[in-house]
Amino acid sequence: MADIKGYDMPDELYYHKDHSWARVEGTRVTVGMNDFFQKESGDIVFVDLPEEEEDVEQGEVCGKIQSRKWIGKLVAPVSGEIVEINEELEEDTSLVNKDPYGEGWILVIEAEDLDSELGNLMQGEALVEFIDAELKRAEEERAGA
């Protein structure tokens, strides 16, 4: 389990720059939103889930997430077919906040081309640099405000 500047970012997961995460088990890829996203967004009040059997491309918007009065995007970290969605979220969206890597998972994709696509996602040092850059930009904006 990695702690990057106070954000819980488990080592074994892959991360998209739009804050979705991917847990790879064979060709099944479980997808959710990372700890950085849930802490920055605050309470998630609605998750607009896609339909099962829909095909998605890596980087494509496949769902919407409302926190307060903001509607953000769920971006597919890999390409493939959506084979499962977390129906528990229809009853309790707070799972995304409470347990973003466990009960707050959002969907499962049967991946098409992990060999070429996983390299586009972040892990390890690249993830640390990404979080650093996000935080640095925030500090710069605050300083310039």
Please, which residue, 85 or 111, has the CB nearer to another protein? 85
> Least distance (Å) from another protein to the CB of residue 12?
26
Please, which residue, 43 or 113, has the CB nearer to another protein? 43
DSSP secondary structure of 5-69: TTEE--TTSEE-TTSEEEEEETTEEEEEE-HHHHHHH-SEEEEE---TT-EE-TT-EEEEEEETT
Please, which residue, 44 or 114, has the CB nearer to another protein? 44
> Least distance (Å) from another protein to the CB of residue 82?
16
Sheet with strand 80-85: strands edge to edge: 14-15, 20-25, 28-33, 107-111, 80-85, 55-56
Asked if residue 105 lies in contact with residue 32, where contact means CB atoms within 8 angstroms, the answer is: yes
In the complex, which residues of this chain contact another protein (CB under 8 A)?
40-46, 48, 64, 66-73, 90-94, 97, 134, 137-138, 141-142, 144-145
For 90, the token pair is 């229809």
> Least distance (Å) from another protein to the CB of residue 57?
14
> Least distance (Å) from another protein to the CB of residue 120?
16
Please, which residue, 12 or 46, has the CB nearer to another protein? 46
